[in-house]
C-alpha cells in the first residue's frame, strides 16, 4: 500500500501506521517518493523525524542514534494491552442518558420530527432527528453555555456524562486519583461548528468583519470540543480530532484504543459529534440530493433497505466512550461494559459520494477488522450497519456484510432508522448501541421496513420488533463521503 503525507501530524500518524503494520513502508512526503531499501532511512520533515522501515525489520543503529525520542515499551514486544469500555455518554434526539436512549431504540420509538430551530417553509426537506431544547447546565462552563456552538456543548456534555458513568465524576476521589498525564481525548466531528461559522459569514456579509464574533474561528474548528473538555478535566494525554466525514466516530474510537494498546495512555475519551441541523446544513444536503422529502410523515422517512426509501434523514448529537486499559480498570474496581477487540479502515478510491458498487472496500475493511480483532467471521453475532436509507448505499453494504458473514443467525440493524444520520457522530452513538446489545442481549429493531428490497431478509435486519440474541461479538460499520470505510468490534469481557 502507499501513504501520502503532507503535514507534521500526518507524518506522525503514518509512522504509527507503519509501526503497526497497517501499510507498507513506502511514503510520499510533499510529493517526493521515498521507497524503503535495505538500509532504513530517517526522513526529515519540518520538525518531525520519521524512521521508515519494513515492519519485519529492526531499526538500524544509525536510526537509533538520530532519533530524538524512543517510543515507550510498556508491554512485551508483539503484544497489545487489552482495552475495555467502562463508561458511555450520549446526547441524542431520543434522550441524553444511555439507558433512556437505548430503551427508546428497543421500543422502536422514532426521534425524527419537524424542525423547530429555524423556519423551513421554503425547504424541500423540513424534518430531522433534531434535539429539542438542549441544556448543558452542570456540564458546560456557564461562560460558554450560551455562546459555544452546539457541537461543542454536545461533546463536553456527553464526555462528562461518560466519565460519570465510569465512576469518575469530576471532584470524586477516584477522579482525583487519576494520572492526568495518562488520560487523553480523541473526539471528532465531520462538520465542526457549522452554526458559529455560518453566523460569522452572515455578519461579514451584512455588517463587515468588525461585527464578527471573536469566537467564530475557535468555535468552528473541529478540535475545539475535545480541547475544551480537556481544559475542564485537566487531561494532558493525547488530544486531537479526526474528521473523515460520516466515518469519523469509528476512526476516533479505533485510534484512541491504539493509544492505550501502545501504552501511551490509561484512559481515552473517544467518540464524535455533529450539529448540522441549521439552514446551510439542511440546504447543503438538499443541494446534494441526499435528503428524504417525506415531509408528510417524518417519522417514517428513514427506511433502510426499503424499496421506497428516498434519501437519508439528518440527525444530530454526540456519543463518547470511556476506553480504559484493562489492568487500570480492574485496579480501580470499574464496571466493565465490554471489551474493544479491534477494527480497521479502508478507502474505496472510487467516488466522492457513491459507494463502490461491488463493496470491495467494505469487504476489505470487514476482513481486516476481523484480523485485527483476532476474531473469526462466525463469531460475530450482530452488525450495526451504516444503513443510511440511501438508494445505492444500503444494498452495497448489505451484500458486503452477507459476503463476509454468511451465517444465518447473524443479525444486523440500522440505528439511523430511528434517529436519522448523525454524520460524524453516527459511529460513536452506534458504538454505544452495539455495546448495549452485547450487554443486554436485546437488539433494537429497524423501523419503517415495509417493502424490503429483493433479497433482504426482514428477520436478518430485525425489522419491526426487537430481537434477543446472546451476542458475544458485535461489529459497527461507518462509511463516509470520499469512500472512507471503517468498522470497530466489541465483545463480552472475559477475564
CB 429 within 8 A of CB 253: no
DSSP state of 321: E
Catalytic, out of 386, 444, 484, 487: 386
**Cβ count within 10 A of residue 480:** 25
Looking only at the bridges linking them, the beta strands covering 183-188 and 484-491 are unpaired
Report the residue count for the chain. Answer: 495
Torsion, Cα of 430, 316, 211, 222 (10° steps): 10
- Whose CA is closest to 240, among 253, 254, 251, 224? 224
Is there a catalytic annotation at residue 252? no
Catalytic residue among 421, 444, 484, 487: 421
Q: Which residues of 279-317 are buried (b: 16+ CB within 10 A; e: fewer)?
A: bebbbebbeeebbbebeeebbbbbbbbbeebebbbbbbb
Report angle CA 263, 271, 154 to the nearest 5 degrees: 135
Q: Which regions of 256-413 does DSSP assign to beta strands (E)?
A: 267-274, 317-325, 338-347, 380-384, 411-413
E-state strands within 385-495: 411-413, 442-443, 467-468, 473-480, 484-491
Is 328 noted as a catalytic residue in this protein? no
Q: What's the alpha-carbon Rg for the chain, to the nearest Å?
A: 22
Q: Which three cell numbers stand for residue 20?
A: 503497526
For the question of residue 45 being annotated catalytic, the response is no
Choosing from 183, 216, 246, 365, which is the catalytic residue? 246
Q: Indicate which residues carry an active-site annotation.
A: 246, 386, 421
Amino acid at each position: 500500500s502507499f501513504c501520502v503525507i503532507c503535514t507534521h501530524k500526518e507524518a506522525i500518524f503514518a509512522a504509527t501506521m507503519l509501526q503497526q503494520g497497517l501499510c507498507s513502508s513506502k511514503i510520499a512526503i510533499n510529493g517526493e517518493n521515498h521507497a524503503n531499501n535495505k538500509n532504513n532511512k530517517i526522513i526529515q520533515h519540518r520538525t518531525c523525524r520519521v524512521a521508515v522501515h519494513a515492519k519485519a525489520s529492526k531499526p538500524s543503529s544509525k536510526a537509533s542514534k538520530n532519533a530524538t525520542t524512543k517510543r515507550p515499551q510498556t508491554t512485551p514486544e508483539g503484544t497489545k494491552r487489552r482495552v475495555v469500555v467502562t463508561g458511555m455518554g450520549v446526547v441524542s434526539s431520543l434522550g441524553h442518558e444511555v439507558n433512556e436512549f437505548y430503551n427508546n431504540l428497543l421500543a422502536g420509538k422514532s426521534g425524527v420530527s419537524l424542525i423547530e430551530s429555524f423556519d423551513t417553509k421554503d425547504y424541500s426537506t423540513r424534518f430531522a432527528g433534531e434535539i429539542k431544547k438542549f441544556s448543558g447546565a452542570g456540564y458546560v462552563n456557564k461562560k460558554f453555555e450560551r455562546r459555544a456552538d452546539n457541537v461543542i456543548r454536545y461533546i463536553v456534555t456527553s464526555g462528562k456524562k461518560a466519565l460519570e458513568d465510569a465512576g469518575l465524576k469530576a471532584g470524586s476521589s477516584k477522579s482525583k486519583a487519576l494520572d492526568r498525564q495518562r488520560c487523553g481525548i480523541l473526539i471528532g466531528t465531520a462538520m465542526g461548528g457549522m452554526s458559529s461559522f455560518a453566523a460569522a459569514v452572515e455578519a461579514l456579509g451584512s455588517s463587515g468583519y468588525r461585527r464578527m464574533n471573536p469566537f467564530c474561528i475557535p468555535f468552528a474548528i473541529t478540535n475545539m470540543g475535545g480541547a475544551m473538555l480537556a481544559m475542564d478535566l485537566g487531561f494532558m494525554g493525547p488530544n486531537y480530532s479526526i474528521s473523515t466525514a460520516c466515518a469519523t466516530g469509528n476512526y476516533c474510537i479505533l485510534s484512541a484504543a491504539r493509544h492505550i494498546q501502545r501504552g501511551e495512555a490509561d484512559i481515552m475519551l473517544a467518540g464524535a459529534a455533529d450539529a448540522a441541523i441549521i439552514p446551510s446544513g439542511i440546504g447543503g444536503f438538499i443541494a446534494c440530493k441526499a435528503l428524504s422529502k417525506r415531509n408528510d410523515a417524518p417519522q417514517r422517512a428513514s427506511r433502510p433497505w426499503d424499496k421506497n426509501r428516498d434519501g437519508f434523514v439528518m440527525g444530530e448529537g454526540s456519543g463518547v466512550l470511556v476506553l480504559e486499559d484493562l489492568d487500570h480498570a480492574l485496579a480501580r474496581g470499574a464496571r466493565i461494559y465490554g471489551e474493544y477487540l479491534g477494527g480497521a479502515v479502508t478507502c474505496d478510491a472510487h467516488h466522492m459520494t457513491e459507494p463502490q458498487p461491488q463493496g470491495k472496500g467494505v469487504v476489505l475493511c470487514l476482513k481486516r477488522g476481523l484480523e485485527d480483532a483476532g476474531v473469526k467471521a462466525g463469531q460475530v453475532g450482530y452488525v450495526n450497519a451504516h444503513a443510511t436509507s440511501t438508494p445505492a448505499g444500503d444494498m452495497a453494504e448489505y451484500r458486503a456484510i452477507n459476503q463476509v458473514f454468511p451465517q444465518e443467525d447473524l443479525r444486523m440493524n440500522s440505528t439511523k432508522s430511528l434517529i436519522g444520520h448523525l454524520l460524524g457522530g453516527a459511529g460513536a452513538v452506534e458504538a454505544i448501541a452495539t455495546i448495549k446489545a452485547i450487554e443486554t442481549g436485546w437488539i433494537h429493531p429497524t423501523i419503517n421496513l415495509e417493502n424490503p428490497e429483493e433479497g433482504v431478509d426482514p428477520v436478518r435486519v430485525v425489522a419491526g420488533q426487537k430481537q434477543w440474541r446472546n451476542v458475544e461479538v458485535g461489529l459497527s460499520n461507518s462509511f463516509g463521503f470520499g469512500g472512507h470505510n471503517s468498522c470497530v468490534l466489541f465483545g463480552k469481557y472475559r477475564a
